[in-house]
Amino acid sequence: MRNRRVIWAIVGVIGFLLPVAGLALLSLSARRPSTLGITEGRLATCPNSPNCVSSLATTKDQRVASFPLAAQQNSGENDGNDSRRAIERLAAIVAARPRAHIVRQTDDYLHVEFTSGVFRFVDDVEFHIDQPAGVIQCRSASRVGRSDLGVNRRRVEAIRAALAESG
């Protein structure tokens, strides 16, 4: 009887550890996508999976609103630094979030990697100043898996709220 309990306990531990180890290996094998950045003045489109949201998406499930580009005018004139200031504000907001790492920042683009706490999955979040439209376009996508349980959408909305709160 005791031997059976020990065997079932071992089977249970192995049954738990194998999937956990598999997820950990999956997260380690994920490489930064080559599609990140600005191509022809736009962020990349989302793949056909529910673990990506974008302000440029055409499907309702993946679409999020773009961020307003608050014009910081100097005597009514655009002094050319509006984009840089907007990106700097966004960078400060995302840098304060847990497990965020700024990968690339230019005057009109920001790429941030967010790493999950347990399995170390990485999500790529991008912001691009769209001056003609007067908005900041955004994209947040998981590198692996199919579902993110709404994490990317909640993250974008939390950043939007923090940006609005900061003035």
CATH value at residue 108:
3.30.310
Q: If you average pLDDT over every residue of the chain, what do you get?
A: 85
What is the structure's pLDDT at 74?
Answer: 40
144-162 pLDDT tens trace: 988 889 999 999 999 999 9
Q: pLDDT band for 12, please (50, 70, 90 cuts).
A: low
Q: Which residue has the higher pLDDT, 15 or 166?
A: 166
Residue 25 is assigned to a structural domain of this protein: no
What is the structure's pLDDT at 58?
Answer: 93
Residue 3 is assigned to a structural domain of this protein: no
Residue 114 is assigned to a structural domain of this protein: yes
71-109 pLDDT tens trace: 543 434 455 578 999 999 999 999 999 999 999 999 999
The number of C-alpha atoms within 13 Å of 71 and in the hemisphere containing its C-beta is 12
Residue 18 is assigned to a structural domain of this protein: no
Residue 74 is assigned to a structural domain of this protein: yes
Residue 56 is assigned to a structural domain of this protein: yes
Instruction: Please say if the pLDDT value at position 19 is more than 70.
Output: no
Report, as an integer, the average pLDDT of 102-131: 95
For residue 38, report the phi and psi dihedrals to the nearest 5 degrees.
-105, 125
What is the structure's pLDDT at 77?
Answer: 47
Residue 142 near residue 153 (C-beta atoms within 8 A): no
Instruction: Give the structural domain span for 113.
Output: 31-165
22-58 pLDDT tens trace: 444 444 456 788 889 999 999 999 999 899 999 999 9
Residue 62 near residue 71 (C-beta atoms within 8 A): no
Residue 14 is assigned to a structural domain of this protein: no
What is the structure's pLDDT at 26?
Answer: 44
Residue 83 is assigned to a structural domain of this protein: yes
Number of domains in the chain: 1
Q: pLDDT band for 117, please (50, 70, 90 cuts).
A: confident
Give the whole-angstrom CA distance, residue 41 versus residue 35.
Answer: 13
Instruction: Please say if the pLDDT value at position 8 is more than 90.
Output: no
Q: What is the model's pTM?
A: 0.79
